[in-house]
């Protein structure tokens, strides 16, 4: 039996575009597809702190605020490791995004519509973003 891994990742938004990284072809899970910044929690680490650390390690940005969107469970490609993944919308951040690790071969900004056309690590990413955007629009109407 494989390991249970607790993970956190977040959508980084700027002017209705979202920052994604193309995963290295050397990655065991979801090689070569687009994914959000994120990764595994260290032993004893708070999951929000995992989001902050992983986002900084992979993009160089500093998370100032984030909203939890969902927690989902994912098996790796070989059904050996099991991931519980906390996915956030990063609503405030500082810095200039840069590809600061070997996790991704490239970083790029995409619109929601463009995300629907990309090969993604988790196919439901655009739907999560769209649901969050619709909730924000509804909240601003009141």
Q: How do residues 69-101 score in pLDDT, each as one tens digit?
A: 999 988 776 667 788 999 999 999 999 999 888
Looking at domain 4-141, its CATH architecture is Alpha-Beta Complex (3.90)
Domain ranges for the chain: 4-141
Of 61, 129, 67, nearest in space to 101 by CA: 61
**1-25: string of b/e by CB count within 10 Å (b at 16+)?**
eeeebbbbbbbbbeeeebbbbbbee
> What mean pLDDT is predicted for residues 42-70?
97
35 pLDDT above the threshold of 80: yes
CA distance 95 to 132: 23
* 21, 38 contact by CB (below 8 A): no
pLDDT given at position 141: 65
pLDDT given at position 77: 64
CA distance 47 to 41: 6
């Amino acid at each position: 039996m494989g390991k249970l891994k607790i993970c956190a990742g977040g959508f980084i938004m700027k002017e209705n575009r979202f920052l994604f990284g193309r995963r290295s072809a050397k990655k065991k899970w979801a090689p070569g597809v687009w994914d959000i910044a994120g990764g595994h929690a260290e032993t004893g680490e708070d999951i929000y702190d995992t989001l902050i650390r992983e986002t900084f390690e992979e993009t160089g940005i500093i998370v100032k605020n984030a909203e939890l969107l969902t927690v989902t469970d994912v098996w790796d490609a070989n059904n050996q490791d099991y991931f519980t993944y906390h996915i956030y919308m990063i609503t405030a951040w500082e810095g200039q995004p840069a590809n600061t690790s070997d996790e991704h071969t490239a970083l790029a900004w995409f619109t929601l519509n463009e995300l629907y056309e990309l090969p993604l690590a988790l196919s439901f990413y655009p739907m999560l973003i769209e649901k969050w955007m619709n909730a924000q629009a509804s909240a601003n109407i009141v």
